[in-house]
Amino acid sequence: MNKIEHIGIAVADLGKAISLYEQLLGTNCYKTETVASESVDTAFFKTGENKIELLSSTSEDSAIAKFIAKKGEGIHHIAFDVDDIYAEMDRLRKEGFVLLNETPKNGADNKLICFVHPKNTHGVLIELCQEIK
Ligand code: CMX
């Protein structure tokens, strides 16, 4: 894995959270995107080399809605940039990690993504992401 690509934060109200993070970071949100397959609306910020993704739910049974209902708003996942997501998924499978999808799926911000179950990673949901070139 190369570097942390972004940190995902689950929020209840995306509009309010965008305003607050714009004030906090002193920079504007550079992109908003709906990912229908994940039932989320997302908003991205850059701070230097780092990225923050705010996520709000578009349906009551989405991963983000369940997360907020159970744990409240807060850090939802840490995403790592990888060069070859297929190779990295194979490597993690062989290491015994439980992947939450069999094959990479399309995520926000032009990425192929795959999640690793938080039960295997000390309670942290990990995302692999590879830029679609
Ligand atoms: N971080 C840490 N723990 C989490 C978690 C998260 N983000 N989401 C759920 N959990 C915990 C639950 O609290 C639960 O813990 P306990 O067993 O101690 O109660 C455990 O994981 C299993 O939860 P579950 O109720 O069995 O399963 P869920 O239906 O809540 O699903 C998960 C959990 C991670 C499998 C599911 O959220 C998933 O598949 N996530 C991947 C997809 C995703 O998160 N999409 C949204 C983001 C999309 C994007 O970034 O674009």
pLDDT tens-digit map of 69-101: 999 999 999 999 999 999 999 999 999 999 999
24 C-alpha to ligand 1 centroid (Å): 27
Residues 35, 20: Cα–Cα separation, whole Å: 22
pLDDT of residue 68: 98
118 C-alpha to ligand 1 centroid (Å): 7
**Angle subtended at Cα 37 by Cα 124 and Cα 30, rounded to the nearest 5 degrees:** 75
pLDDT tens-digit map of 2-13: 999 999 999 999
pLDDT tens-digit map of 22-37: 999 999 999 999 999 9
Ligand 1 within 6 A of 40 CB? yes
Nearest atom within ligand 1 for CA of residue 127: 50
**Angle subtended at Cα 32 by Cα 28 and Cα 62, rounded to the nearest 5 degrees:** 130
pLDDT of residue 20: 98
Residues 14, 34: Cα–Cα separation, whole Å: 11
Round the CA-based radius of gyration of the chain to a whole number and report it.
14
Please choose, from the candidates 63, 62, 33, 60, the residue with its C-alpha nearest in 3D space to the C-alpha of residue 45: 33
75 C-alpha to ligand 1 centroid (Å): 12
